[in-house]
Structure 1
Amino acid sequence: MRRASVERKTKETDISITLCLDGEGRAEIATGIGFYDHMLEQLARHSLMDITIKAEGDLHIDAHHTVEDVGITLGLALKKALGERRGIRRYGHAYVPMDETLSRVAVDISGRPFLVWKLAFTQDRLGEMDTELFEEFARAFAFAAGITLHVENLYGLNNHHKIESCFKGLAMALRMAVELDPRRGDQIASTKGTIGG
């Protein structure tokens, strides 16, 4: 089983995350931000990764530090669990409809962190979470994990549907990308012979 545990403690947050790539989609999420917890539960369920997140942050200020630092820590856990990335498919993508909304997510476990984010909201908050923080999560996660991540909402009206379809798309794209390819065996999916470092 490919798994990792990472702890990150600063003056702003105290976070511990356990991640199992070859799980069943189980989630134990407690960030203190209800809507964020809901999205992270979607990430676990649809990626079939088992994810445990315990986060305490300076929510009396706002949710920014907690959201970003969970993204960093989750990205570090993914990177650690992947190890040398031997045998993985490397690339993953998904189109996810949710009622009137359609979103597309593509992932390359490349070792070259990059984020393309094309998602616009028509309200400032969902629950107690500022909608601008979803991009902060995506950037923190992608750069800490060392992945290239493209997230795009193609169309839709409901802001909840927009972001939920993107989290589900991320989950399904990651599931595809981290999956072990039986045809690849122990090889690394790069002509360089290494991914990242």
Structure 2
Amino acid sequence: MRQATITRNTSETRIAVSVNLDGTGEYRVATGIGFLDHMLEQLARHSLIDLDVAVEGDLHIDQHHTTEDCALAIGEAISRALGERRGIMRYGHAYAPMDEALTRAAIDISGRPYLVWKLDFTQTKLGEWDTELVEHWFHSFAQTAGLTLHVENLYGRNNHHLVESAFKALARALRQAVTIDPRKAGDIPSTKGTLGG
């Protein structure tokens, strides 16, 4: 079973995350940041990765630590659930329209964390979530999940739609990349013989 549970406790946050890569998109999410919860629900539903996230963060200071540590824990859980990455498709890409907005995401489960981010906002908050933290969430997630991740908004105006289309594009690309290729189910998809660390 491709599942993992991560507990991350610091002086800034207390986090418990569980994932099941072969799930049905079920979720239980409570970060203390409503808009982030909404985006993580989209991530689970559209990737078909079951996701359980519970965060107690120092929101009395700001949302930075909660956003960052949440992403780090989810990425680490996905990386652990992938194990040696045997048989995975490895690559994934998706376009996600959200009304007037269109965003694409492309990922490589390479073990080489890297984020290319091409998405700008015209407002500073969505609900209570600072929009500058959206990119930081994606960056932190890519770091511990071991992803090369490219996210680009092609067009759009509504900031809610821009963020939601980015999370949905990531979800669909991730769903594709973690899928087991029936023709190579026992093989690591790399000429080096290893992915990740």
- TM-score by structure 1 length? 0.99
**Counterpart amino acid of residue 26 in structure 1:** E
Structure 1 position 82 matched with structure 2 position 43? no
Structure 1 position 157 matched with structure 2 position 157? yes
Q: Which residue of 2 aligns with 1:26?
A: 26
Separation in 2, partners of 1:113, 1:185: 24
Counting only pairs closer than 5 Å after superposition, residues 135-154 of structure 1 correspond to structure 2 as 135-154=135-154
Counting only pairs closer than 5 Å after superposition, residues 79-158 of structure 1 correspond to structure 2 as 79-158=79-158
Q: Which residue of 1 aligns with 2:187?
A: 187
Q: Deviations over 1:1-41 (max 9, x none)?
A: 21000000000000000000000000100000000000000
Q: CA deviation at 1:196?
A: 1.8
Q: Which residue of 2 aligns with 1:176?
A: 176
Point out 4+ residue stretches in structure 1 off by more than 6 angstroms. none
User: SS in structure 2 opposite 1:136?
Assistant: helix
**Counterpart amino acid of residue 34 in structure 2:** G
Equivalent pairs, count: 197
Separation in 1, partners of 2:128, 2:11: 22
Q: CA deviation at 1:185?
A: 2.0
Separation in 2, partners of 1:62, 1:15: 16
Q: CA deviation at 1:145?
A: 1.0
Q: Which residue of 2 aligns with 1:11?
A: 11
Identity %: 64
**Counterpart amino acid of residue 79 in structure 1:** S
User: SS in structure 2 opposite 1:134?
Assistant: helix
Q: What is the alpha-carbon root mean square deviation over aligned residues?
A: 0.5
Separation in 1, partners of 2:97, 2:141: 23
